[in-house]
Structure 1
Amino acid sequence: MTSDPLRDSLRQLPGRPGVYRLLDRDGTVLYVGKAKDLKRRVASYFRRSLNRRMQVMMAQVADLEFTVTGTEGEALLLESNLIKSLRPRFNVLLRDDKSYPYLYMSTQDPFPRLAFYRGSRKGPGRFFGPYPSASAVRETLQLLQKLFPVRQCEDGFFRNRSRPCLQYQIKRCSGPCVGLVEPADYADDVARTAKFLEGRTSEVIDELVAAMERASTELAFERAATLRDQIQTLRRIQQHQAVSGEGGDLDIIAGAQQGGTHCVVVFFVRSGRNLGSKTFFPQAPPDTDEAALLAGFIAQFYHDKPVPPEILTSALPDEAALLAEALSQRVGRRVRIQARVRAERARWLALARSNAEVALKSRLGSQAGYGRRLDALRLALRLGERPQRLECFDVSHTGGEQTVAACVVFDGEGPRKSDYRRFNIDGVAPGDDYDAMRQALRRRYTRVSRGEAPLPDVLLIDGGRGQLSAVSEVLQELGIGGLMLVGVSKGADRRPGQERLWLFGREAPVILAPDSPAMHLIQQIRDEAHRFAITGHRQRRGKARTGSALEGIRGVGPKRRQRLLRQFGGLHGLARAGIDDIAQVNGISRDLARQIYEACRQDSGVSGS
């Protein structure tokens, strides 16, 4: 028997399209639904047999609210908005509050730049995307730097150059800042970059083939060879990334579920190019089937994102025709949702489903705790998405000598030790940690800018605002942007748990609770960087102490050093030997033995007789 408030609300329901909200006794919204006929739809909850999920929900329902709309499509859009804002526990909930990244081209500039971009797309210039992640944008930027050397530096950096930067030296930019490229040639590179991003790869290849033939005719063989390499790279890209034919835009969405956990994978295809995939783990009641899962996901996913003309799904979503109609109304053109496809599209759909199943198994595996720490870090740093790659730098030395900088890497599964790197620092003033950090960053990210390693989402530095400024200078010099820079400094009495986080561009530090999962992850990464740096420093210091006493002596080369150390069991034994003992070694005269004796005694801190 229904309660009086609920009975009164049921009587007031009209037979028109709209959205209804089921509430508990405290007024909390339990479920949001849409209907072509509100009266008939809500009444069905009290007239027919329900599945277990609906039975549990209806046992808690004490009241309802409704909103009448003009059409069923409008009801679907309103339902999506309310689910995102109210987050009812019995609906499928998509946790996806981020703004997707784009590639931005400043076409309004005389020498346009190409850059990572996230935010409103209402300003001047062109935007290409969206891309599924920041790493996908950076990979595309690195690829385009090799193909067409269009500048990627900030305008302030570009305007104040008097000589070309490192990007020109490594052939990733044509040097427009100092007039090293003709405006017409630069414009050609910009136009080809735009065509490539639009999916017009074949047209770009045809242009390059014609230019290569002209260069060969003019005997400009070096230019012809460069064009040939560009053509070969473009052909390889074309072979690997073509999905739906030239110019096709579509999203491929597949779901998987196990043990009450749900996973959805989306492949993004723009202009016939696969831009990569993104994995989601929406909240939904355990017995939600795949059709309901995909229906709820799609309605929320495209709430604030571009909608392609076609959406391929691993199962046909509930009320797919209505969903397609609502999306069509939103974008002002036809949108199709299909689940039954053949040939190449069927293979890509199978791949998406396979990705969803693998991601789900990984989610349910031993990395769940680590994933929660990554999510906590995303929230703490206000990142749009969970960071997939984090790098941390630390510098170690003793009194400014034998300085070593270390870089450790963590990805979505934990430490990635194969990507760890150490840098022996030379040519800086003893104890100048800022300059040491600059040298390490420059060496590391010069290689990254060449495409030898991916860029991280978060760059952690053991230090405060001064260290962050040094890091920012290097990254700007290299034309690298889009990174979250975080300095980790110790607290007042240098105790663990009191660290302060300095975010580049902010005056005040971020202070996390000592028991915060995000703080635990930062401490883990920072401590690993410190361990790796100090281990490298100790190794370098040990080698220096072994060889330094002998290396400055004229007449003692590598072979004689090796012979002496082997004869006396190392430098410590050699320092305890007398002149006569040293002179007995083959190839060592008495005068040379005296020099060795004095050098070893001086190095060990013992005055000679």
Structure 2
Amino acid sequence: MNTPATAFDGKAFVRTLSSAPGVYRMFDADDVLLYVGKASNLKKRVGSYFLKPRLEPRITSMIGQIARMETTVVRTEAEALLLEAQLIKSLKPRYNIVLRDDKSYPYIHLTGAKPGVRSRREAEGEAELTVRFPRLEFHRGARDGGGRYFGPFPSAGAVRESLDLIQKLFRLRNCADSYFRNRSRPCLQYQIQRCTAPCVGFVDEVAYGQQVRHAELFLDGKAEAVMQELVAQMERASAELAFERAAAIRDQIAAVKRVQAHHYVQGATTDMDVIACALEGGIACVSVLFFRNGIGLGSHDFFPRLAGSSDLAAILASFIAQYYLDRPVPSELIVSSAPEEAPALAAALAGRSGHGVEIKHAVRNERARFLDLARRNAQAALAARLASKQTLLARFEALRELLGMDELPQRIECFDISHTMGEATVASCVVFGAEGPEKSQYRRFNISGITPGDDYAAMHQALQRRYKRVQAGEGKLPDLLLIDGGAGQVQQAVDVLNELGVGGVPIVGVAKGPARRAGDETLILAGSGKTLVPGPESPASHLIQAVRDEAHRFAITGHRGRREKARETSSLEEISGVGARRRAALLKHFGGLGGITRAGVEELMQVEGINRQLAERIYGAFHG
């Protein structure tokens, strides 16, 4: 605990404050942010820390560390709530309740033209084929790819289920653009009636556009509008004696009705989230049930960092402010404990979302049933987390004993290398703490400038890039460093840490056994060269396997992404005169990039649109 050289005079500071609403921040002697709070009256709220004779131990400890304070005056309590949530989410102060929500939520993406980006063909006046026939796809990450995004959804499963329904109802394509551009006949999706095969012209742009519009309305929760349009189309087709088209639309109407009947949740007549909190053993679980347009989208469990807080209402208030800060807010939030600042919080969320928001606690009938379900979900998830935490601590203790360490390692880092015959080499670094994986600390390193397939050089480069930051005073050293590999990889770690002058970290290599079975790993201890084989029954071995497998998963995911990106960005795109149409013709004629690279000038000239000059240019690009 940091103690200020000169005690902070809180009473004198309070005398300088106004009675306006605002946000206050507390810092310690090292200028580390301790706490962010909001107040409808800054003078009264900040004064309560220094004028009350008795405070709970957590608050007393925090106040003893204060070296300085800052305040920001705002116009309303609602603005103070939002500013507090923004600061907590971005700065993660030590004594605040923090929503540890590092994963990006999944969306459904309806592709379209990317803002500010025009292809060569678009510049010449011809609309890009993939823009005229957009696709629906699963999406995570930044929403800057053009088109429309629907969500966020509570889980990947909810997105995939929705995509499955949309494909059945409206038959939009879901294939990658490169696959779509190069089709010469319809794929299996057309055969099983989940796509109308726009790739080969089986549907025109107008008809496909209608299906896209219906899918958008359906995802916007306007299923009734879709039904009305489909009924009008069916009647029009009947009047025109187009009975086959009318029958197809009739079947589509029946399918939409079946989907609505199957997925509609009785009592969930509006957009609402039902939020319950359970607390035990210093761990809280917040469980959320999601309902949109009368359809249940599933649930999600969160485990916020509490910093010693045990007030369920305060935990919920902090969760709501941070969670809905950057995502759509439903019109109703049903909560298990009523936050004291619920009216101000509802006003803040309403102002940000542009529609009314109600936070309800005392509910009856179906809403009470949903709330009870959310409570039971929270309690079950919390029980599982507590059991998992106890198991994890036992594994950490077993690892400490196995390696002869004086204290439990609080931070374990593990490195792994992934490549395909030297192509697109990626190194991963994963971090485990006393509560399991710390995914916000994970890092990937794209390896370059080495002989392809040289795992030692790749490991050396990754370790050097990671621990140069520690040498520069940024980041932390691990209490234990695991290397996926044998003595050679371990020596690379020893050399790098010695070169950088950040030694003293226990280094252990994890080498696969002769049969390459999980649990048969040999541990290689750096320095002594001693080896250990804990065996498949050892809890320490279970922990090492979990960390090593996570490093392997993270590395191979990065490698695959890098490899696919390299392959999608074809070398043909860099050749002047080879546009999208000629590129497609070349790939179709030779069956892929490999065939093109092996072709001679005369063979290249056999492709439509390729003259001798261009063929020589293409040949030269691959053969220097």
Shorter-chain TM range is 0.5 to 0.7
Any residues of structure 2 matched to 1:439-478 within 5 Å, and which? none
Q: Across the two proteins, how many residue pairs are aligned to each other?
A: 407
What's the secondary structure of 1:173's corresponding residue? Answer: coil
TM-score using structure 1 length: 0.58
Q: Which residue of 2 aligns with 1:76?
A: 81
How many Å apart are 1:107 and its aligned residue? 5.6
How many Å apart are 1:494 and its aligned residue? 9.7
Deviations 1:58-106 (A, max 9, x none): 3444442222223322222221122123322221110113332211223
Paired letter, 1:89 = R
Q: 1:219 to 1:518 in 2, by over 3 A?
A: same
Please say if 1:308 is aligned against 2:313: no
For residues 8 and 219 of structure 1, the distance between their equivalents in structure 2, rounded to whole angstroms, comes to 85
Query: Which residue, 267, 276, 286 being the options, matches 1:264?
Result: 286
Q: Which residue of 1 aligns with 2:584?
A: none
For residues 60 and 243 of structure 1, the distance between their equivalents in structure 2, rounded to whole angstroms, comes to 53
Q: 1:140 to 1:70 in 2, by over 3 A?
A: same
Deviations 1:25-51 (A, max 9, x none): 443332211112222211112333433
How many Å apart are 1:114 and its aligned residue? 0.9
Equivalent pair of 2:11/2:50 in contact (CA under 8 Å): no
What's the secondary structure of 1:317's corresponding residue? Answer: coil
The percentage of aligned residue pairs carrying the same residue is 48
Q: Which residue of 1 aligns with 2:100?
A: 95
For residues 215 and 371 of structure 1, the distance between their equivalents in structure 2, rounded to whole angstroms, comes to 68
Equivalent pair of 2:231/2:253 in contact (CA under 8 Å): no
Query: Which residue, 78, 83, 91 being the options, matches 1:86?
Result: 91
Query: Which residue, 519, 523, 534 being the options, matches 2:548?
Result: 519
Q: Which residue of 2 aligns with 1:362?
A: 384
What's the secondary structure of 1:274's corresponding residue? Answer: strand
For residues 75 and 220 of structure 1, the distance between their equivalents in structure 2, rounded to whole angstroms, comes to 62
For residues 262 and 346 of structure 2, the distance between their equivalents in structure 1, rounded to whole angstroms, comes to 31
- Structure 2 stretches of 5 or more lacking a match? 1-5, 114-130, 396-409, 416-451, 454-483, 491-508, 513-525, 527-542, 556-624
Q: 1:301 to 1:219 in 2, by over 3 A?
A: closer
Q: 1:350 to 1:245 in 2, by over 3 A?
A: closer
Q: Which residue of 2 aligns with 1:152?
A: 174
Q: Which residue of 1 aligns with 2:48?
A: 44
For residues 210 and 515 of structure 1, the distance between their equivalents in structure 2, rounded to whole angstroms, comes to 63
Q: Which residue of 1 aligns with 2:27?
A: 23
For residues 248 and 8 of structure 2, the distance between their equivalents in structure 1, rounded to whole angstroms, comes to 83
Equivalent pair of 1:21/1:31 in contact (CA under 8 Å): yes
Q: 1:126 to 1:10 in 2, by over 3 A?
A: same
Equivalent pair of 2:235/2:246 in contact (CA under 8 Å): no
Q: Which residue of 2 aligns with 1:192?
A: 214
Deviations 1:308-349 (A, max 9, x none): 232221121231111112222323433221112222222222
Q: Which residue of 1 aligns with 2:566?
A: none
For residues 178 and 18 of structure 1, the distance between their equivalents in structure 2, rounded to whole angstroms, comes to 61
**Structure with more relative contact order (C-alpha pairs < 8 Å, separation 6 or more):** 1
Deviations 1:432-469 (A, max 9, x none): xxxxxxxxxxxxxxxxxxxxxxxxxxxxxxxxx99xxx
What's the secondary structure of 1:326's corresponding residue? Answer: helix
Please say if 1:238 is aligned against 2:251: no
Equivalent pair of 1:20/1:65 in contact (CA under 8 Å): yes
Query: Which residue, 12, 16, 25 being the options, matches 1:12?
Result: 16
For residues 371 and 267 of structure 1, the distance between their equivalents in structure 2, rounded to whole angstroms, comes to 31
Query: Which residue, 366, 383, 388 being the options, matches 1:344?
Result: 366
Equivalent pair of 1:6/1:62 in contact (CA under 8 Å): no
Q: Which residue of 1 aligns with 2:510?
A: 497
- Structure 1 stretches of 5 or more lacking a match? 382-464, 467-488, 500-512, 527-609
Equivalent pair of 2:233/2:249 in contact (CA under 8 Å): no
Deviations 1:476-517 (A, max 9, x none): xxxxxxxxxxxxx97897997379xxxxxxxxxxxxx99695
Q: 1:192 to 1:491 in 2, by over 3 A?
A: farther
Equivalent pair of 1:99/1:119 in contact (CA under 8 Å): yes
Q: Which residue of 2 aligns with 1:251?
A: 273
What's the secondary structure of 1:266's corresponding residue? Answer: strand
Paired letter, 2:330 = P
Q: 1:123 to 1:524 in 2, by over 3 A?
A: closer
Equivalent pair of 2:24/2:37 in contact (CA under 8 Å): yes
Query: Which residue, 172, 178, 182 being the options, matches 2:200?
Result: 178
Equivalent pair of 2:62/2:95 in contact (CA under 8 Å): yes
How many Å apart are 1:296 and its aligned residue? 0.8
Q: Which residue of 2 aligns with 1:116?
A: 138
Paired letter, 1:12 = T
How many Å apart are 1:278 and its aligned residue? 1.6
What's the secondary structure of 1:131's corresponding residue? Answer: coil
Any residues of structure 2 matched to 1:542-553 within 5 Å, and which? none
For residues 296 and 32 of structure 2, the distance between their equivalents in structure 1, rounded to whole angstroms, comes to 42
RMSD between aligned residues: 4.3
Paired letter, 1:130 = P
Equivalent pair of 2:332/2:359 in contact (CA under 8 Å): yes
Q: Which residue of 2 aligns with 1:54?
A: 59
How many Å apart are 1:231 and its aligned residue? 2.0
For residues 330 and 94 of structure 1, the distance between their equivalents in structure 2, rounded to whole angstroms, comes to 20
